[in-house]
Amino acid sequence: MRYVLALWALPLVIFWGWYGLSYNNIHFGYVMLTREAHDLIFQLYGDTLGIDPEIIPGMVAKACVVDTLFLLAIYAFRRRRQLAAWAKVRRARYLGVISSPST
Per-residue pLDDT tens over the stretch 3-14: 988 999 999 999
Report the distance separating Cα 84 and Cα 58, nearest Å: 35
Query: Which pLDDT score, from 0 to 100, does residue 99 have?
Result: 59
- The burial class, CB within 10 Å (0-12 / 13-18 / 19+), for 16 is middle
> How does DSSP classify residue 53?
G
Cut 0.85: pTM above it: no
What is the end-to-end Cα distance of the chain in Å, rounded?
A: 34
Q: Give residue-wise pLDDT tens across range 50-70.
A: 999 999 999 999 999 999 999
